[in-house]
Amino acid sequence: ETGVTQTPRHLVMGMTNKKSLKCEQHLGHNAMYWYKQSAKKPLELMFVYNFKEQTENNSVPSRFSPECPNSSHLFLHLHTLQPEDSALYLCASSQDTPRTGPYEQYFGPGTRLTVT
């Protein structure tokens, strides 16, 4: 599946670093999502963007900062992370609009983040 790509695939960063995760969807969708997947926990929805507007922020700490410059690109800026933030970060997209759907979400392969 190459409809949703994520870079980098693996990232190791120290607690004082600043890094960014990138997601790109080639499916013509208008909604994009960030999820956090930790071991032994359900997927946690972090942020939702519809037509570049953030429509959901699930009480995510401010050390995670999303950016959606257009409907095809989504970033997650990271700074001063904690070891417990180590996880697989998944990006997804869908053809949702606020008045229709929900349609299925298409996922990228994820970025495996390790905070040391």
Partner 1 sequence: AQSVTQLGSHVSVSEGALVLLRCNYSSSVPPYLFWYVQYPNQGLQLLLKYTSAATLVKGINGFEAEFKKSETSFHLTKPSAHMSDAAEYFCAVSERINQGGKLIFGQGTELSVKP
CB of 43 vs partner 1, minimal distance in Å: 4
For the CB of residue 107, give the shortest distance to partner 1 in the complex, in Å.
4
Distance CA 25, CA 51 (A): 13
Q: How many CB atoms lie within 10 A of CB 110?
A: 18
Residue 53's identity, in one-letter code, is: E
Binding site for partner 1 (CB under 8 A): 1, 4, 6, 31, 33, 40-43, 45, 48, 50, 55-56, 90, 92, 94, 96, 98-99, 101-110, 112
d(CA 47, CA 32): 8
Cβ distance to partner 1 smaller for residue 42 or 69: 42
Rounded least distance, CB 16 to partner 1, Å = 28
Q: Identify which of residues 85 and 96 has a Cβ nearer to partner 1 in the complex.
A: 96
Are residues 94 and 105 in contact, defined by beta-carbon separation less than 8 angstroms? Answer: yes
CB atoms within 10 A of CB 64: 19
Compare residues 79 and 106 and give the one whose CB is closer to partner 1: 106
